[in-house]
Amino acid sequence: MVVRKKANDWNKPIENFSRLLDSLVFTNGRNAKLRLIGRYLEETPDPARGYALAALTGDLRLPGVKPAAVRALAGGQIEPELFAMSYDYVGDLAETVALIWPDGEYFQPKLTDVVESLLNAKKAAATPTLKYWLDQLDYNGRWALLKLVTGGLRVGVSARLAKMALADAFDASVSDIEEIWYSVSPPYYDLFDWLEGRGKKPDPAVGAGFRPVMLANPLEEALLSELDPKNYLAEWKWDGIRVQAASRNGQRKLFTRTGEDIGNSFPEIVQHLDFDAVIDGELLIRTPKPNESMAVESFSALQKRLGRKTPGPKLIAELPACIRAYDLLFEGDEDLRSLPFIERRKRLEAWARKAPDIIDLSPLVPFSNWRELIEIRSSARAAGIEGLMIKDKFTSYVPGRPKNQWFKWKREPLTVDLVVMYAQRGHGRRSSYYSDFTLGAWKDANTLVPVCKAYSGYTDQELVKLDKWVRENTDKRYGPVRSVTPGLVLEIAFDAAQTSTRHKSGVALRFPRIKRIRWDKPVNEAEALAAVIKYINAS
Partner 1 sequence: MSAQHFDWLKLRPEGLYCDPAGVFIDPARPVDRAIITHGHADHARPGHNNVLATQETLSIMKVRYPSDGAHYQSARYGQEFRIGDVSLWFAPAGHVLGSAQIVIEYRGYRAVISGDYKRQPDPTAAPFEPVRCDLFVTEATFALPVFRHPKPESQIDRLLRSISAFPEQPHLLGVYGLGKCQRILSLLRSAGFDEPIYLHGALVELTNLYTAFGNNFGNVQSVQTANKTALSVGLVLAPPSATTDRWSRRFNNPRIAVASGWMQVRARARQRGAEVPLIISDHADWNDLLKTCAETQASKVWITHGREDALAFALSKQGQEATPLRLSGREEESE
Q: Which residues bind partner 1 (CB under 8 A)?
A: 1-2, 4-7, 9-12, 14, 23, 25-28, 32, 35-36, 39, 78-79, 81-83, 85-86, 89-92, 95-96, 99-100, 103, 139, 425, 427, 429, 431-432, 479-480
* Ramachandran category for residue 526: left, alpha or beta (phi over 0 → left; psi -120 to 50 → alpha): beta
Letter string b/e over residues 206-240, b meaning 16 or more CB atoms within 10 A of that residue's CB: eebbbbbbbebeebeeeebeeeebeebbbbbbbbb
Task: Work out the angle at residue 96's Cα, subtended by the Cα atoms of residues 95 and 99, and round it to the nearest 5 degrees.
Answer: 85
List, in order, residues 6 or more apart from 25 with CB less than 8 Å away: 155, 156
| Min separation Cβ 224 and partner 1, Å | 38
| Min separation Cβ 18 and partner 1, Å | 13
φ/ψ of residue 387, rounded to 5? 155, -155
| Min separation Cβ 414 and partner 1, Å | 35
Considering beta carbons, is residue 85 or 531 the nearer one to partner 1? Answer: 85
DSSP letters, 233-292, are EEEEEPSSEEEEEEEETTEEEEEETTS-B-GGG-HHHHTT--SSEEEEEEEEEBP--SSS
φ/ψ of residue 286, rounded to 5? -90, 150
List, in order, residues 6 or more apart from 47 with CB less than 8 Å away: 112, 187, 189
| Min separation Cβ 177 and partner 1, Å | 23
Q: Annotated active-site positions, please?
A: 237
CA torsion through residues 410, 416, 421, 423, sign: positive
Distance CA 259, CA 249 (A): 19
- Computed on alpha carbons and rounded to an integer, the radius of gyration of the chain in Å comes to 27
Q: Are strands 217-218 and 406-410 parallel, antiparallel or unpaired?
A: parallel
Residue 68's identity, in one-letter code, is A
| Min separation Cβ 195 and partner 1, Å | 22
| Min separation Cβ 129 and partner 1, Å | 24
Helix (H, G, I), strand (E, B) or coil at 164: helix
Considering beta carbons, is residue 425 or 521 the nearer one to partner 1? Answer: 425
CB 469 within 8 Å of CB 441:
no
CB 283 within 8 Å of CB 241:
yes
CB 283 within 8 Å of CB 260:
no
| Min separation Cβ 299 and partner 1, Å | 31
Distance CA 120, CA 307 (A): 32
